[in-house]
């Protein structure tokens, strides 16, 4: 391990030397690298020429130093073209998917089948020789591999919960790519870039050796090797300086790239802030919204009305014609075992379904002073819908962007909400936003909110991360909060605190809550009404107390019987068998 560390440090030293020579070469070189005296041709190493001269009498050391500049420029040009072109194409098709992805990837795979140097020679034949042209051709050749890597990384990131969270707050595709996905794939892309750089330096030397890259009289390690070949019998030493420089540079780049790969695979997040603890959950929150559900005639319309919603994954039906209603200040629990369709229904209501999932419904209406209908809605209406619906995901640590601080993510939500409302939100100054962030973190029971805002998700506990997720949802001032298994990954004590927090916030802010859970005990603690799902069907619904005490369906009775009871002298009974087949 120690020898490996020494080798990496030595490689960094080689690259630093090459970089210094590339930048300061014109001032360091003792002679003009392009000028020589024929009378000094093929002179051996001496006090005047430390590395001798070539067949035209040009100083080998000066040309070697200038070659470092050419190789560095070549590496940067090819790498920039490969990363910008390949990375851009890969991220876009990875996010968009569908037929654009299939068409572009067939083209990329076809080009990738051609060796990079062969493709570069073909492009040089069409575009002409020269350093810039040749490195542009090399960059295009390597862009195909970068595009495949970027596509794969983007497809992995787009399915993460924090990307769904960004979509909930109204982030468009451009913002998803540059603010959320690109930073999270930058590390592996950077590692790949070092390898592209190494290949580009080697290919530039090969092309210059063949007369297709850098053109004489400019200095290049490839041109120096070509010149040395002409006089290999008379002065074989001339091949050693450029050959050694080329080998050491490419080897150092590969060692550094390999070290970066190993470092990335072994990276781990530490939690130096475990002393931070939640405050008393009874603390009040001054940011309380009024009820927007009053309608003429003294009646109260439902906040959310869902009629006949169906969710399909291709030919498979996950939710079949389900009905649902939620009032302001009410918690409705969607209960069922894994695979019952409850999460699919919740994601459809949050407008977060992605292909191959699709949904249809007779009616999906969000009430209040600004009623919205999701069925057949245009993009603007869907954006407004997501602006009024907050989501708390099951895995809070996965739902937060790992590279952004808590404060940065809250700021994004606040700014997105302001854009969605046309800038009408009050208190838009940076100071006011900072104060709002502190208020949000305080409202969800986090002590030292200023300190928490400066932390990243990997530096906080699971319970704190779930509170941050709730704060992100509250930052939108939502009418409806969808909580998807918000207590599953937490220990029992933290579960109780999160349940109490959600209950308090619902009462204070008077928004509706759709609680997705498989635990009827959690539903009994938090919900006013319960909707029981089995195989995509709603089999029973009603007030929680009525459903628990007098279940009408065998499956509901089985769920009630499965709730653990801590009562002395009471045996654990077998749950009743479900005989009815629900299709």
At 262 the pLDDT is 65
Chain centroid to Cα 376, Å, comes to 30
Give every CB contact of residue 190 below 8 A, 6+ residues apart in sequence: 260
Taking alpha carbons only, the member of 180, 230, 295 closest to residue 42 is: 230
Alpha helices in 444-485 (DSSP H): 449-453, 462-474
Other beta carbons less than 10 A from residue 530's beta carbon:
26
- Domain 20-33+57-265, classified CATH 3.90.79.10, yes or no: no
Scored b (16 or more CB within 10 A) or e, 120-156 reads bbebbeeeebebebbbbbbbbbbbbbbbbbbbebbbe
At 298 the pLDDT is 41
Could you give the CA distance from residue 299 to residue 294 in angstroms, rounded to a whole number?
Answer: 7
Q: Which residue has the tokens 């009462």?
A: 507
Greatest Cα-to-Cα distance within the chain, rounded to the nearest angstrom = 110
Could you give the CA distance from residue 540 to residue 533 in angstroms, rounded to a whole number?
Answer: 7
At 294 the pLDDT is 39
Burial class of residue 397, CB neighbours in 10 A (0-12, 13-18, 19+): buried
Which regions of the chain carry the CATH code 1.10.3720.10?
Answer: 20-33+57-265
What are 372's two structure tokens?
A: 């919205």
Burial class of residue 177, CB neighbours in 10 A (0-12, 13-18, 19+): buried
CB 71 within 8 A of CB 204: yes
Taking alpha carbons only, the member of 391, 489, 474 closest to residue 437 is: 474
What are 28's two structure tokens?
A: 């360091």
Which regions of the chain carry the CATH code 3.40.50.300?
Answer: 302-388+478-583
Q: Which CATH architecture has domain 302-388+478-583?
A: 3-Layer(aba) Sandwich (3.40)
CB 362 within 8 A of CB 375: yes
Could you give the CA distance from residue 33 to residue 8 in angstroms, rounded to a whole number?
Answer: 32
The 3-state DSSP class for residue 307 equals strand
pLDDT in tens, the chain (583 residues): 455 678 888 999 999 999 999 999 889 889 988 887 777 888 888 888 889 888 888 888 999 999 999 999 999 999 999 999 999 999 999 888 888 888 998 888 888 888 877 888 888 888 887 888 888 888 988 998 899 889 988 888 887 777 877 777 667 788 888 888 888 888 888 888 988 999 899 988 888 888 888 888 888 898 898 888 888 888 888 889 999 999 999 999 888 888 876 665 444 333 333 223 343 333 333 333 334 433 333 445 788 999 999 999 888 899 998 999 998 888 899 998 888 899 899 999 988 888 788 899 998 999 877 888 998 888 888 888 888 888 888 777 777 888 888 898 888 888 877 776 665 444 467 888 888 888 888 888 888 888 888 888 888 887 888 888 888 888 888 889 898 888 776 666 677 777 788 888 888 888 889 989 887 777 888 888 999 999 999 999 999 888 888 888 898 888 888 776 655 554 444 444 554 444 4
pTM equals: 0.62
At 397 the pLDDT is 74
């Amino acid at each position: 391990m120690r020898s490996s560390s020494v080798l990496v440090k030595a490689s960094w030293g080689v690259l630093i030397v090459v970089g210094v020579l590339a930048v300061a070469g014109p001032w360091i070189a003792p002679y003009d690298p392009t000028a020589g005296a024929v009378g000094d041709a093929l002179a051996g190493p001496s006090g005047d020429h430390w590395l001798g001269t070539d067949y035209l009498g040009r100083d080998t050391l000066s040309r070697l130093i200038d070659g470092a500049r050419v190789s560095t420029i070549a590496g940067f040009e090819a790498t920039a073209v490969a990363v910008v072109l390949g990375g851009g194409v890969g991220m876009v098709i990875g996010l968009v998917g569908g037929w654009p992805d299939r068409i572009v990837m067939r083209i990329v795979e076809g080009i990738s089948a051609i060796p990079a140097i062969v493709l570069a020679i073909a492009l040089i034949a069409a575009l002409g020789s020269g350093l810039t042209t040749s490195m542009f051709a090399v960059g295009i050749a390597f862009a195909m591999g970068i595009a495949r890597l970027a596509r794969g990384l983007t497809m992995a990131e787009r399915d993460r919960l924090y990307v769904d969270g960004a979509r909930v707050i109204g982030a468009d595709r451009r913002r998803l790519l540059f603010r959320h996905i690109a930073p999270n794939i930058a590390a592996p892309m950077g590692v790949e870039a070092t390898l592209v750089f190494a290949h580009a330096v080697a290919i530039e030397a090969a092309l210059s050796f063949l007369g297709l890259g850098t053109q004489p009289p400019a200095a290049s390690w490839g041109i120096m090797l070509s010149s040395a070949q002409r006089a290999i019998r008379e002065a074989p030493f001339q091949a050693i300086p450029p050959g050694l420089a080329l080998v050491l540079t490419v080897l150092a780049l590969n060692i550094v790239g390999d070290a970066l790969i190993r470092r990335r695979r072994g990276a781990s997040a530490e939690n130096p802030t475990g002393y931070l603890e939640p405050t008393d959950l009874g603390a009040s929150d001054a940011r309380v919204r009024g009820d927007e559900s009053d309608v003429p005639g003294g009646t109260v319309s439902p906040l959310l009305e869902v009629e006949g919603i169906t969710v399909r994954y291709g030919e498979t039906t996950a939710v079949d014609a389900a009905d649902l209603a939620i009032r302001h200040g009410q918690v409705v629990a969607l209960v069922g075992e894994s695979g019952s369709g409850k999460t699919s229904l919740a994601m459809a209501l949050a407008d977060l379904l992605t292909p191959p999932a699709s949904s249809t419904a007779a009616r999906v209406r969000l009430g209040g002073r600004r009623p919205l209908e999701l069925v057949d809605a245009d993009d603007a209406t869907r954006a407004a819908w997501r602006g009024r619906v907050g989501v708390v995901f099951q895995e809070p640590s996965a739902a937060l962007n790992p590279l952004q601080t808590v404060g940065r993510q809250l700021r994004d939500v606040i700014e997105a909400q302001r854009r969605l409302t046309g800038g009408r939100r009050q208190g838009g100054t940076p100071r006011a936003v900072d104060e709002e962030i502190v208020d949000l973190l305080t409202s969800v029971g986090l002590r030292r909110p200023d300190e928490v805002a400066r932390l990243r998700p990997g530096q906080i506990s699971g319970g704190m991360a779930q509170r941050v997720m709730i704060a992100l949802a509250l930052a939108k001032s939502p009418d409806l909060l969808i909580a998807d298994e918000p207590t599953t990954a937490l220990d029992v004590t933290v579960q109780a605190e999160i349940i109490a927090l959600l209950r308090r916030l619902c009462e204070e802010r008077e928004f509706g809550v759709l609680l997705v859970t498989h635990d009827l005990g959690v539903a009994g603690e938090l919900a006013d009404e319960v909707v029981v799902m089995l195989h995509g069907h709603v089999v029973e619904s009603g007030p929680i107390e009525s459903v628990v005490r007098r279940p009408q369906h065998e499956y509901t009775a089985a769920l009630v019987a499965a709730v653990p009871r801590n009562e002395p002298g009471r045996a654990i009974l077998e749950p009743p068998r479900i005989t009815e087949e629900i299709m």
